[in-house]
Amino acid sequence: MNLIEQAESRKLLREAMSLHRAGRLDEAGQRYAAFLELEPQHARALRLCGVLAREQGDAGHALGLLQQACAVAPDDAEAAAELGLCYLATGELLQAEKALREAVRLAPDHVRALANLGALLQYRGHVDEAADCHRRALVLDPDDIEVRCNLINTLLEAGRGNEALGECDVALKDWPGRALLLVARGAVLCGIERYAEAVADLERALKIQPADDMALINLGLARRMLGEHEAAIAILRTAVRINPDNARATADLANLLAAHDRMGAALSLCEAFLCRHPGECLVLTVYAYALRDAGRADEARQILDLERCVRVIEPAVPAGFADLADFNVQLARCIESDPSLNTNPLGKSTRLGGQTGELDLDAHPALSALRELINTAVRDSAEYFRRTGLATHPMMARASDRWTLRVWGTVLGPGGHQAPHMHPLGWLSGAYYVRVPQDMQPLPDASKRPVMPGALEFSRPPERLLVRAPAELRVVAPQEGRLALFPSAFYHRTIPFTSGEKRISIAFDAMPVR
């Protein structure tokens, strides 16, 4: 390329960047493409063109361009940071984490990469490392209130509620009356069950930002927990009016309406929501419980079909392992040595035990083998559901031929259990039993019948759900090497046990990709 051609090509790049900044994306894309025909290995142009493609919603094209930019300029932290965001857009979270880590390695003071890495680690349950990233980002940019709120939320999730509250108070001294911080403080106070104080902060925030539906949801929760159910209903009605597509607001409102004999309104609210969002877990389960309370048990049973929708699978020994015991021993080591293992994490269902963040399934051969085992179980179960007349079941509304896995481990000690919970972001979920104590003793219940300790029990609602009709339950016995698979919308818990040994399991969600 001679000097005149080089000058013309650089003019194209300047025009593309100027149009990009002005928001004229189609024209900018044409200029970038023309420039890259002349200089196809220009790292900056590849990066900017990739960013533009992502902004236009073409994540696949963006990914290719940004991968190429990183290959051309492996020391460019900005390209790695943008690649991480692109992987986030495509749902490839482990790849996103690797790219963001590389950006931070190349540029330790890259504040945006640190903030995004912290947010991703927080989402994946690696809360201690996430908090460290948030703090490092705040040293570089102490005025970033969004990152400060992420730090507050991370500390709360890590079970460090008082520390989270302290962060709120420090921030509010610098930014008194800032609505975002008041909302965060209200959420922390709800998390540590100081509901009266939460009401004060959330009401202050809503005077400033009356359309904050998440603040309204927490305010509704606080009012309900204080016994002020009519006030909670009014607050949640406002949240649903502001955002009719907020599943949590809809489910909470429907549950309160049903509990206060406004069954028609509760059912209609759920039905309208599920028409717009078929299979949505939170609303679907509240709808089923409301049907049961309305005396329509058969319709509820069609949704919570415990016999047909809960599958118990005894997988074969994965290739490369001497036997099932060898496979499980290696899995147990992976879980117990994982640095994200956190005892009694707040906001999680684990009690008297520990839970890891999401596991890296490429980190060890046993975890890679587990991925194949789970994927096979999900694939086979989806086919089984279709073959056995469940193709129109609400859980299949979210079915997909492609999914990503979120996988984490739990380690329960004596008296340990999982409180009733569900997995609202998944389609199919499950548990694989790695280690089961040999000396778990049966526990008596109120009817004097023995309860199977450590067992997986389905359909008992959590205490926060107000239901009247007794739950129809199903219990699956834990057994090393057994896999239980079920719709993510099904509430489930672990019955406490008294053994002195540890009970180790691995839980997972299959997240549909469309």
What letter represents residue 120's amino acid?
L
Instruction: Write down the H helix ranges in 226-280.
Output: 229-242, 247-259, 263-276
CA dist., res. 410 & res. 416, Å (int): 10
Q: Is 481 left (phi over 0), alpha (psi -120 to 50) or beta?
A: left
What pLDDT, on the 0 to 100 scale, is given for residue 338?
94
| SS3 state at 396 | helix
CA distances from 12 to 8, 36, 50, 234 (A): 6, 10, 16, 57
What pLDDT, on the 0 to 100 scale, is given for residue 95?
94
Q: Are 269 and 253 in contact (CB under 8 A)?
A: yes
Residue 381 tokens read as: 């179960």
CA dist., res. 154 & res. 146, Å (int): 12
Q: Considering only CA atoms, give the Rg of the chain.
A: 25
CA dist., res. 207 & res. 186, Å (int): 14
Residue 40 tokens read as: 């196809």
313 DSSP β-pair partners: 483
In the chain, which residues have pLDDT < 70? 1-6, 344-348, 440-451, 514
Read off φ and ψ for residue 148, nearest 5 degrees: -60, -40
What pLDDT, on the 0 to 100 scale, is given for residue 310?
97
Nearby residues of 464 by Cβ (< 8 Å), 6 or more positions away: none
Cα 507 from chain centroid (whole Å): 13
Q: Are 147 and 118 in contact (CB under 8 A)?
A: yes
CA dist., res. 135 & res. 131, Å (int): 6
CA dist., res. 187 & res. 171, Å (int): 15
What pLDDT, on the 0 to 100 scale, is given for residue 156?
93
> Which of 60, 57, 67, 68 has its CA nearest to residue 26?
57
pTM of the model as a whole: 0.89
Nearby residues of 170 by Cβ (< 8 Å), 6 or more positions away: none
> Which of 299, 287, 225, 221 has its CA nearest to residue 258?
287
What pLDDT, on the 0 to 100 scale, is given for residue 12?
86
